[in-house]
């Protein structure tokens, strides 16, 4: 009978996922120093899987291991943002050209209602939760990518999802402008409903460039 005891590899993968999630959601921010001892305590495991997870994240350029200090969360450069959003814009706009025919009216309506609710609450003085808004933002953009017909495009975007999510949350916090962002998303959804490919691709590119410019200016 196979043992159900978790292997070191599975613990390392769990530590990797949890630390990476914290990086993506802004719980861990650029400039932080990560202690193996503290992470082991927080995640309820030994230092060995923590160390392996940190090394994996360092190999992906999320962290820099500093001997005697710990794992340093690398700051985000304007060049990184520019490069990532350049690729994101090209691929997501291309995805929209076929995704527009594979997103249902019901899906569009559901997203419209959620963006409108955030917009209405904001108008009444209720500030949105950054992570809640970022997640809603992500759902729309991910839907556009996942409903396109180019599997290679989807694979490339999936490989960059973690970094895109990280920047997306920072983009919201940098601009802190729920109204403009919600209105832009509602416009994108309206064009999806109309199946207006030329207007949709132009508007989507403008929206992504708008978000990137806020990030580069901070």
Segment holding 66, helix H or strand E? strand 63-66
pLDDT at 218: 59
User: What token pair was written down for 197?
Assistant: 């490919």
- DSSP per-residue codes, 110-126: HHHHHHHHHHHHHHTT-
CA contacts within 13 A on the Cβ side of 36: 17
3-state secondary structure of 32: coil
- What is each CA distance from 52 to 17, 29, 74, 193, 217, in whole angstroms? 12, 20, 18, 46, 35
pTM here? Answer: 0.79
Helices 161-175 and 151-159: crossing angle, nearest 10°? 60
pLDDT at 3: 41
CB atoms within 10 A of CB 179: 11
pLDDT at 175: 54
3-state secondary structure of 73: strand
Average pLDDT for runs of 10 along the chain of length 218: 48 92 84 91 93 91 85 84 91 98 98 95 83 88 97 93 76 67 96 98 95 75
């Amino acid at each position: 009978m196979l043992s159900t005891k978790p292997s070191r590899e599975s613990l390392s993968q769990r530590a990797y996922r949890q630390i990476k999630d914290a990086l993506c959601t802004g719980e861990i921010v650029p400039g932080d120093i990560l202690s193996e001892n503290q992470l082991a305590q927080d995640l309820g495991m030994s230092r060995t899987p923590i160390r392996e997870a940190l090394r994996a994240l360092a190999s992906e350029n999320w962290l820099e291991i500093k001997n005697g200090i710990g794992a340093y969360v690398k700051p985000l450069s304007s060049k990184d943002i520019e490069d990532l959003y350049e690729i994101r814009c090209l691929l997501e706009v291309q995805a929209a050209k076929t995704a527009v025919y594979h997103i249902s009216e019901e899906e569009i309506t559901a997203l419209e209602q959620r963006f409108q609710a955030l917009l209405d609450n904001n108008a009444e003085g209720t500030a949105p939760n950054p992570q809640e808004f970022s997640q809603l933002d992500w759902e729309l953009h991910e839907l556009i990518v996942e409903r396109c017909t180019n599997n290679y495009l989807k694979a490339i975007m999936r490989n960059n999802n973690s970094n895109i999510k990280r920047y997306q949350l920072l983009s919201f916090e940098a601009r802190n402008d729920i109204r403009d962002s919600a209105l832009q998303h509602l416009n994108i959804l309206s064009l999806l409903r109309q199946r207006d490919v030329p207007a949709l691709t132009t508007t989507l590119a403008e929206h992504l460039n708008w978000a990137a410019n806020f990030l580069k200016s901070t």
